[in-house]
Structures are given as C-alpha cells and as structure tokens.
Amino acid sequence: MTAEWDIDQLDLDAYLRRIGHDGGTAPDAATLAAMHRAHVASIPFENLDIVLGRGIAVDLENVQRKLVHDRRGGYCYEHGLLFAAALERLGFTVQRLLGRVGGDAERPRGRTHMALRVHIGDEVWLADVGFGSGLLEPLPFDTGAARRQGGWTYSIATEGPHAWALRERQDGEWVTRYRFDDVRQHPADVEVANHFTSTFPRSPFVGRIVAVRKEEDALRELIDRTLTVTRPDRSSESREIADAELGPTLRDVFRLELSSGELERLARAAPPTAP
C-alpha cells in the first residue's frame, strides 16, 4: 500500500532537519509524539500559494520541495502526506484518512480534511499535523478519554462502526472539530479533495489569506488582514495588519519568509479593511 504514495521520494534526513528532530527514530509512541510536536512547531499551516495564483500540488515530490526545501508551509493534504511518508519510512503503519470538518449538520460537508491513523503494535493513534487549530501531539484511540495538550483538551468519540469524531473542549462543552472513518483512501481521492478545497469559490481557503500557528497556550490566526490570538479559555484579541506589517507578521509570527514581490501580490489580494 505504501508504494502508491511514492514514499521512496522522500529525503528523510532533510525532513528531520526541517522539523528539528534529532531524537530517536524507532517506530514507537515516543518517536511519534516527538515528531508530531516538532512538525507542528516547525512547518506552518498556510494557503498562500492559492492566493498567489499558483494552486496546490499534492504529489509527494512537490509537497517535499515546498515544505522541506523551500521552507514554506501548507494545508492539511500537504502536511498529512509529508508526515505519513516520513512515518512509513521509519517503519510505522499509517492509514491516510479523509474527514468531514464540523459538527452536527443536516447536510454533512464533503471529505475535505486529511488525518492519519497510526498503528504501533496493538496501539492505535490519531495523528494530525495539518488541521492548523488542532492537535499538538497524537491522541490514542481510547475513545471518550479527555486528553490535555498544553491548555487545550481533546477526545475521540465513537460515532458508529469504524467511525469517530475528534472533539475539543470549549467553554465547558465538547465541540466536534471533524468526523472521520477508516475507509481506505488513495492518491486520487486526495487529488479530488484538494482540487475542491483549493478551487471551489466558497472554500474557506479560496480568495483570502489563511495562516495559523498553534502552541500550548495560544492559537494565532491571520485571516486576510485580521490577526487573532485565542487562548485556551477562549479569550482573544484581534488587530488589523497594515501593508508594512504583512511581511514581518508572516515572518515573525508564522515563520514564513516571502519575497517582496509575493508580499505585494498578497497585499493586493487582501487589501486592508476600510476604517
């Protein structure tokens, strides 16, 4: 099954340098947790190539070039494909899954989010380095148990045979972030989901800047020109980013270095909010 994902194309040493992981690489729970945290801390969540008119490629060669060698970020498919390839190269067993973002709704959304189910012996873990506002480290599939990650609290709820939901504790209540099952996915499924997510006019990633960074005590989000910092207690503050601040904000907050030409194009695509 791993052959169809072209994991042999991954420069594993370059990836490990990119995320700053110099610890153990045995296919065990400690390695999984350490690499997950290192990936989330090092490679940002962002959609800037969509805004810049380049689109998103989800073959491993292009994902690796962008996120590893060019030191850019990406969104869920890019993160998930890269992390899965690294894990499999180290000997982990990985299922690539597509989920439906959001909670209860009369009309469920399409499968537009990618997450990973990782098997280590008899243990099963949910790994997700590409949700942006989601997990800092993997969650074990002991469904119903609350798990704290810094100031954030998560759990996995069973929704039916081979079906689950990732939930987050917010304002004293459990909020479903996304639902998923263990239906096997193929590269073609990711291609279709990515095409929809990166081109559909009402996609949240089309027509606006999105950059996200999650830490133990804060979630930082740039949506067009609004920078919002949200704490685990749901308190938040927001401010507007002027043209001159756009580059420094992307660099200092989200660790994204863009050229002056790219910043000019982003500024034109997302003009400041009128006073």
CATH of residue 95:
3.30.2140.20
Global pTM reads: 0.96
Give pLDDT, residue 104. 67
Looking at the structure of the chain, the number of domains it has is 1
Pick the catalytic residue from 128, 162, 186, 189: 128
Pick the catalytic residue from 21, 36, 39, 113: 113
Look up 243 and say whether it is catalytic.
Answer: no
- Does some domain include residue 274? no
- Does some domain include residue 18? yes
Rounded distance between C-alpha atoms, residue 204 and residue 55, angstroms? 14
- Does some domain include residue 275? no
Give pLDDT, residue 275. 58
Pick the catalytic residue from 39, 49, 76, 79: 76
Mean pLDDT by 10 residues, the chain (275 residues): 88 98 97 98 98 96 98 98 98 97 78 97 96 96 89 94 94 94 96 97 95 97 97 96 96 96 94 70
Beta-sheet pairing, 226-230 with 219-223 = antiparallel
- Does some domain include residue 247? yes
- Does some domain include residue 175? yes
The 10s digit of each residue's pLDDT in 69-103 is: 999 999 999 999 999 999 999 999 999 999 999 87
Look up 113 and say whether it is catalytic.
Answer: yes
- Joined tokens for residue 173: 């209540």
Look up 122 and say whether it is catalytic.
Answer: no
Tally of CB atoms within 10 A around 266: 20
What residue numbers bound the domain in which 54 lies? 2-269
